[in-house]
Copies of this chain bind each other. A is one copy, B any other.
Amino acid sequence: MLGGPRPEHARDVPTRVAVDLLGGDSAPDAVLAGVAIALRRDANLHVDLIGPPHLTQLSQLGAEDVAERRRVVPASQVVAMDEDPILGVRGKPDATVGVAARLVRDGAADAMVSIGSTGAAMAAAVFTLGMLDGLSRAALLVTVPAAQGPVVLLDVGANVAPAADLLAQHALAGAAYAQVRHGIRDPRVGLLTVGEEVGKGDRVRRKTGALLAALPVSFIGNVEGDDVPRGGAADVVVTDGFTGNILLKGMEGTYAVLSTLVAQELARHGEPARQAVAAATAHLHPERNAGALLIGVDGVVVVGHGASSAGAVAACIAQAATVVRDGVLPGLRQALGTLLLRCGPGPSGPVPVSRVAR
């Protein structure tokens, strides 16, 4: 490719990716090391390193064998994580993300990658590359490798509080992506919310549900958080960037924790394996931790999943009993009372006392 016309499917064509060297928690080291790995894995890959030339020391790459597929494109400015991304991109014409976006716009690179400020990458991309027809704002999309097939999830961080019409746009975009990228002819689109019944969720969700039902896609209705890692319910899951980001990170963190435990356990035990793994991960099992405490009412109330198994019900009951025996409620009254006293008076305090009469 290298800026040429883009054929529909061409896995062996040279491809150039512009990589932002600045930004990210451990840039540029992680970025440079990642570039080296990518280049070694893919003989048709070319990389533009966008950043101050002094950072692109070839020694850091330790990869003379791939040097000819690496090019340095100087850029000296960076939009910091705590900087306003739009002002930052507008005010810094030589920012790495802006330079990268222009390379893509001009056909000198095929794609750009940044692990710096997401907002800055978005702003640079939107300003420089423009939008696809039909979309007023971009979303961040991931494909989650769910148990029952890929699930396209969007938005995972671009728009923290989108209106319903933007969510509907993103549903279209996600469905289109699922068709193109995953070969799903008629993708099932689900709206992420807190219950399957129509109307579950907040006002935005209710309004979005009505809009999605009118779209020319197979809208299957509401889906819930676990439908994303499990898959099977919807091919495309639409949500706001706030919820999507937190869900995604929660899934990733869970994976990291669990897989670390598995690896540690197997390294130690080797053979007996199955029981050992089960024992090591048992305390993380959702069933064992079933049941939510209804905090705030003057009594012990445990609420479980509607889909609770027998084991989960037993856990709910055991939890309720333990809470009672440990004197949680009287302790809670006391601890809360102490904290309230320390809040002091004041009309703008966070604790309006509106006690519901029995």
CB distance from A154 to the nearest CB of B (A): 6
Interface centre among A29, A141, A311, A350 (most CB of B within 10 A): A350
Residue A96 is within 8 A (CB to CB) of chain B in the complex: no
Given the contacts A131-B297, A132-B332, A297-B125, A273 and B266 also touching, CB distance less than 8 Å:
yes
CB < 8 Å neighbour of A121 from B139, B301, B318, B323: B301
Residue A317 is within 8 A (CB to CB) of chain B in the complex: yes
Stretch from A19-27, A51-59, A71-79 at the B interface = A19-27
Complex-state Cα separation, A194 to B118, whole angstroms: 11
Complex-state Cα separation, A246 to B294, whole angstroms: 17
Chain copies in the assembled complex: 2
Residue A340 is within 8 A (CB to CB) of chain B in the complex: yes
Q: Are B138 and A296 interface neighbours, CB within 8 A?
A: yes
Q: Are B25 and A307 interface neighbours, CB within 8 A?
A: yes
Residue A108 is within 8 A (CB to CB) of chain B in the complex: no
Residue A45 is within 8 A (CB to CB) of chain B in the complex: yes
Q: How many interface residues does chain A have, given as a range?
A: 35 or more
Complex-state Cα separation, A278 to B263, whole angstroms: 8
Complex-state Cα separation, A260 to B181, whole angstroms: 27
Name A209-241 residues within 8 Å CB distance of B.
211, 214-217, 224-230, 239, 241
Given the contacts A246-B192, A297-B130, A181 and B328 also touching, CB distance less than 8 Å:
yes
Name A281-328 residues within 8 Å CB distance of B.
281, 283-286, 289, 291-314, 316-318, 320-321, 323-328
CB distance from A52 to the nearest CB of B (A): 18
CB < 8 Å neighbour of A291 from B47, B113, B308, B352: B113
- What per-residue 1/0 map shows which CB atoms of A177-216 lie under 8 Å from chain B? 1011100000000001111010001110000000100111
Complex-state Cα separation, A154 to B294, whole angstroms: 10
